[in-house]
Amino acid sequence: MMYRPSELQRFLQELGTHAKKGLSQNFLIDGNIIRKIGATASVSSDDVVLEIGPGPGALTQELLANGAVVIAVEMDTILANALERLQTPDQRLHIITSDILDVSIEEALKPYLKEGKRAKVIANLPYHVTTPILTRLAPRHDLLESITVMVQKEVAERMTSPPGSKVYGSLTVFLHFYTDPEYAFTVSRNCFSPVPKVDSAAVHLKVRHPRHVSNVDAFFRMTRTAFEHRRKMLRASLKDLYRAETVTAALESLHLNVQARPEDLPLDALIALFEVIADAEQTR
């Protein structure tokens, strides 16, 4: 099996390649973790799975064994070509050689989705592209049912943290707006080859209809601006967008602490704050 270290090394040598640091390639070598990922995403024969960064294909094998249709997006040409060996007799594996950020999600998924059915995303995301990929995928409740990702442990904690936590931030708010995030399990750095410098974790995001906000772009502009100055009170952290007295009056009208910092407010309170401020700005 490809998750055995000796098998992985022999496989890469036969291909004349190696794990590329520039692509943040750290390959899973623990069969239990591979099975847990499939179980966390509840992958079955009814599913269409978009797998991002399959690498040598250890997880791809598991997904295909569970009966899923798998659209594997791999930007490493050598590894993408090598995935062809996993093709099933009923042709359930479809390989796209590209960066996921350059792929049309609609074009990749729609040929394989039955009417009313949504796909599941499973990915092992490098740190530097985690936020861009999640930002693109999370709002797609029309196409996606869930997103199960392996990320650095500190990122997983940020994705799922409660209000008041020191790692609660604009990414947390964004993900809670579009999904129900759940910290699934921690993965030791020793489960990868080569061994990365930090541990990882799996996060399961159940994609759903977003909360109602009168202006989504303006709402996220407010939350990003607020968390850029997270240690300041909201009336100060939002000064580049709104007058301090407007923010203070909005907090008072919502019976919130006028000295509140961004990290003190849960999603619903941030939405309420935005709507009150937006109304006030319109009536100025």
243: left (phi over 0), alpha (psi -120 to 50) or beta: beta
Does the pTM exceed 0.95? no
CA-to-CA distance for 68 and 282, rounded, in angstroms? 50
| Residue-level pLDDT, tens digit, the chain, 284 residues | 555 777 877 888 888 887 777 667 788 889 899 999 999 999 999 999 999 999 999 999 999 999 999 999 999 999 999 999 999 999 999 999 999 999 999 999 999 998 889 999 999 887 788 999 999 999 999 999 999 999 999 999 999 999 999 999 999 999 999 999 999 999 999 998 888 899 999 999 999 999 999 999 999 999 999 999 888 999 999 999 999 999 999 999 999 999 999 999 999 999 999 999 999 887 76
Strands 119-124 and 48-52: parallel
Tokens of 41: 């995403």
Residue 23 has a pLDDT of: 66
Amino acid at the residue 10: R
Domains of the chain: 5-207 (3.40.50.150), 216-282 (1.10.8.100)
Token pair listed for 113 = 């989705």
Query: What pLDDT, on the 0 to 100 scale, is given for residue 259?
Result: 95
φ, ψ for residue 146, nearest 5 deg: -155, 160
49 secondary structure, DSSP code:
E
Return the HEC string of 77-105. HHHHHHHHHHCCCCCCEEEECCCHHHCCH
